[in-house]
């Protein structure tokens, strides 16, 4: 009978052992407790020791055993970002995630993105996370004035933060864009361009920021004595083709709108396409104002007025807020309201080109 040494091809190669706290402690000449406290930035451990331990852990590819951490501390060190599985608009979600990751990469927390069907119950994934205990904190968006998710998490004392705010009077950390101020300033900009009949392509009416945007739009219209052209058949969640078709229908009327305030970049593109399909010229026959998170319009359609909404900054703020809530260092009522900044670079040059072409 041949022995094992004569059959090397049948032996399975062993994967390298996963580095542990003991591995780091042995190589650093320190105790396991000291290494653990150094990795968790304990104040009684010297900065030189912390730096040496962290460099060694990084070089070894050390990752904490999350099951063990959870057993010892009751924490998963996971933060869940709950997003609807709707089509992403021009990289907004990726920018939000990038901002979150910028902050969380320097902590012990891991970001997990959880998707859910927008047609389903938005509370269901939140309830599943809480009941399974799979995350220490939860982030979510598309907030409603009376949001069941906010009430559920508040009643159970689960740390959370939102992109958007409610009208419930429940204190909770949130980052929001001042959509009321955006819409009113957009109306003012259109009025300064000589536009008198304005239409708003708003977000879905069940969302809080849709109410804010509509309030700002109506306020600006009333204050400046302009005409409002109602748009009820579409919103920013409507398919591109439907928005374009509805705008084309509006622009065929004798009392057609000559200015649009848009709640999303896709809506602005659809509005422009719908009007231009009839031979109308942007900057001559109509104007558009939109909030965007990239420089798409400034680069490719500079005649479209833009207000910048920084989703990457939102991600960074939300990351710091949720870690603070988990660790008890942030107040429940902390929030940040991003102020809109309208900009229209190169607009004069584009209008000059259009004028010379006519």
Q: In angstroms, what CA-CA distances link 62 with 19, 52, 103? A: 6, 14, 20
Q: What local confidence, expressed as pLDDT, does residue 71 receive?
A: 43
- Above 80 in pLDDT, residue 357? no
CB-based burial of residue 230 (10 Å sphere; 0-12 exposed, 13-18 middle, 19+ buried)?
Answer: exposed
For 274, other C-beta atoms within 10 Å of its C-beta total 23
For residue 22, pLDDT over 90 is answered with no
Q: Which two tokens stand for residue 193?
A: 């361009």
> Which one has a higher pLDDT value, 61 or 49?
49
Please name the residue that has the structure tokens 């920084």: 310
- Contact call for residues 100 and 111 (beta carbons, < 8 A): yes
227 φ, ψ to 5°? -95, 135
Question: Both ends of the chain: CA-CA distance in Å?
Answer: 96
- Residue 41, pLDDT > 80, answer no
Q: Where residue 4 falls among pLDDT bands split at 50, 70, 90?
A: very low
- The answer, yes or no, to whether residue 308 has pLDDT greater than 60, is yes
Cβ–Cβ under 8 Å, residues 290 and 273: no
What is the pLDDT averaged over residues 18-42?
A: 83
Cα(107)–Cα(238) distance, integer angstroms: 39
- DSSP annotation of 8: G
* 68 — pLDDT class (breaks 50, 70, 90): low
């Amino acid at each position: 009978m041949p022995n094992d040494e004569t059959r090397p091809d049948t032996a399975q190669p062993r994967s390298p052992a996963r580095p542990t706290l003991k591995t780091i402690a042995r190589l650093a000449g320190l105790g396991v407790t000291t290494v653990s406290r150094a990795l968790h930035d304990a104040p009684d451990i010297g900065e030189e020791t912390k730096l040496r331990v962290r460099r060694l852990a990084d070089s070894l590819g050390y990752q904490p055993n999350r099951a063990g951490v959870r057993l010892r501390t009751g924490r998963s060190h996971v933060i869940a970002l709950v997003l609807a599985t709707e089509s992403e608009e021009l990289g907004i979600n990726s920018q939000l995630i990038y901002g979150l990751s910028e902050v969380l990469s320097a902590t012990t927390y891991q970001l997990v993105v959880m998707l859910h069907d927008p047609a389903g119950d938005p509370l269901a994934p939140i309830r599943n996370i809480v009941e399974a205990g799979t995350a220490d904190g939860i982030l979510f968006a598309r907030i409603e004035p009376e949001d069941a998710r906010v009430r559920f998490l508040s009643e159970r004392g689960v740390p959370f933060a939102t992109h958007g705010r409610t009208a419930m009077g429940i204190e909770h950390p949130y980052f929001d864009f001042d959509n009321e101020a955006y819409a009113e300033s957009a109306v003012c900009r259109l009025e300064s361009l000589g536009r008198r009949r304005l239409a708003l392509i708003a977000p879905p009416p069940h969302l809080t920021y849709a109410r804010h945007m509509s309030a700002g739009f109506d306020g600006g219209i009333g204050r400046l004595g302009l005409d409002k052209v109602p748009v009820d058949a579409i919103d920013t969640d409507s398919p591109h083709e439907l928005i374009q078709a509805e705008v084309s229908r509006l622009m065929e009327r004798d009392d057609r709108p000559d200015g649009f305030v848009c709640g999303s970049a896709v809506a602005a593109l659809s509005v422009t396409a719908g009007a231009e399909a009839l031979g109308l010229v942007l900057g001559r026959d109509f104007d558009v104002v939109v909030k965007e998170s990239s420089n798409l319009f400034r680069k490719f359609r500079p005649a479209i007025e833009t207000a910048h909404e920084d989703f990457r900054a939102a991600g960074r703020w939300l990351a710091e807020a949720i870690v603070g809530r988990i660790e008890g260092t942030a107040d429940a009522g902390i929030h940040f309201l991003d102020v809109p900044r309208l900009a229209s670079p190169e607009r004069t040059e584009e209008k000059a080109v259009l004028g010379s072409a006519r």
